[in-house]
Structure 1
Amino acid sequence: MSEPADLEALRRLMPPPSDGGTRVDWDAITVSWGRRFPPDYQRFMEVYGAGMVQDYLAINEPEARVPLSDAQRDGMVIETANAEADWETEDKASELEGTSPVLINWGVDGTADMLCWDASDKDPAKWPGVVYKRNGSLWSRYDCGMVEFLVRVLRADFPECPLGGLFMWGVGEVAFEKGGG
């Protein structure tokens, strides 16, 4: 799917909040992380904002990369550091063996799975998803953007659920609550 088609599909499966998304200074985010963020994530933030999907998956608000001591508790910077630490110690699916992705965390679910991008490519529209499924202790790669990933989870359109819980797997329409991400 394309980014606009993915977002439209997501709107049908997960109605956006009536009060709109989150305003983000994308220039400041780009400078602090040293790279632009994916266009589908930027549109997601405009339409939905940070928040919770089905009271299970927290979508992080973009935040400037700062030292860990200055980072928001459970925010993008802290969760990225957690992902980087787990990358070093946990198993990887065969397609990830020997790779060294640039991880940026965009979400965490209720079973402590970490949802990240591999931000190695200069073009953020090409960043694949990289998910650490904690109850399987395995990192896996998904060659799609964040919005397409959500749509595919809601439609059960992967060979198996990439998340540790089935709270969103193939359920069709879900609730999104702004804030708390």
Structure 2
Amino acid sequence: MQQLVPPPADGGIAVDWARITESWGRAFPPDYVRFMQVYGPGAVQNYLSIDEPEPKLSLSQARRDGMVVETANAEADWESEDKSPELEGISPLLITWGVDATADLLCWDASGPDPASWPVLVYKRGDMRWSRYDCGMAEFLVRVLRADFPECPLGAVFMWGVTDALFEKKRG
């Protein structure tokens, strides 16, 4: 990942992972934990925003554009939108970790007991369809940057095949 997207000079952020785990009822994937340590929240290619972990609070207490609100948006879209065949009939536990400039939602299916094996589910807003990618968050990003899927899973190609991507850390 770091060869394709150099981390910011000021590094990642400190996170109270025990608080995050307690509030969501599960630990987060180790590749995401590592991403936050090295990069922190921010945007790849000024296109894909990667959310800062936040405790699972009520919607009225959550940040307007944060992980909790975007997860609620994903849950609503899950109920109303089409799914690829392998997703028909399932009810995943969604946690949104990213949103892009074309309003696609990038989530984990956090239903399984091992966060390291949670697949990425993408709601591609332009197609109004959910798809599953059997890899973690970091591998998903690397595969997008290497154009290593049959087609771009995102709504635009700002990251597709970009081997020297820019990461801009979110300033708090």
TM-score, structure 1 normalization: 0.94
The equivalent residue for 2:46 is 55
Q: Distance in 2 between matches of 1:12 and 1:145?
A: 18
Structure 1's consecutive aligned runs of 4 or more residues displaced over 3 angstroms after TM superposition are: none
The equivalent residue for 1:162 is 153
Verify: 1:99 aligned to 2:90, yes or no. yes
Equivalent of 2:21 in 22, 26, 30: 30
The two structures, once aligned, show a CA RMSD in angstroms of: 0.9
Q: Distance in 1 between matches of 2:7 and 2:15?
A: 17
Residue 55 of structure 1 deviates from its aligned partner by 0.4
Equivalent of 2:75 in 70, 80, 84: 84
Aligned counterparts, 1:1-181, within 5 A: 10-179=1-170
Q: 1:66-125: per-residue Cα shift (whole Å, max 9, x none)?
A: 000000011000000000000000000000000000000000000000000000001100
The equivalent residue for 1:5 is none
Secondary structure of the equivalent of 2:2? helix
Aligned partners of 1:52 and 1:180 also within 8 Å: no
Q: Distance in 1 between matches of 2:69 and 2:58?
A: 9
- Structure 2, unmatched stretches of 5+, are none
What code does the residue aligned with 2:69 have?
I
Residue 171 of structure 1 deviates from its aligned partner by 1.5
What code does the residue aligned with 1:88 have?
E
Secondary structure of the equivalent of 2:31? helix
Aligned residue pair count: 172
Q: Distance in 1 between matches of 2:87 and 2:18?
A: 31
Aligned partners of 1:118 and 1:128 also within 8 Å: yes
Residue 180 of structure 1 deviates from its aligned partner by 5.8
- Structure 1, unmatched stretches of 5+, are 1-9
Q: Distance in 2 between matches of 1:38 and 1:129?
A: 11
Q: Percent identity?
A: 70
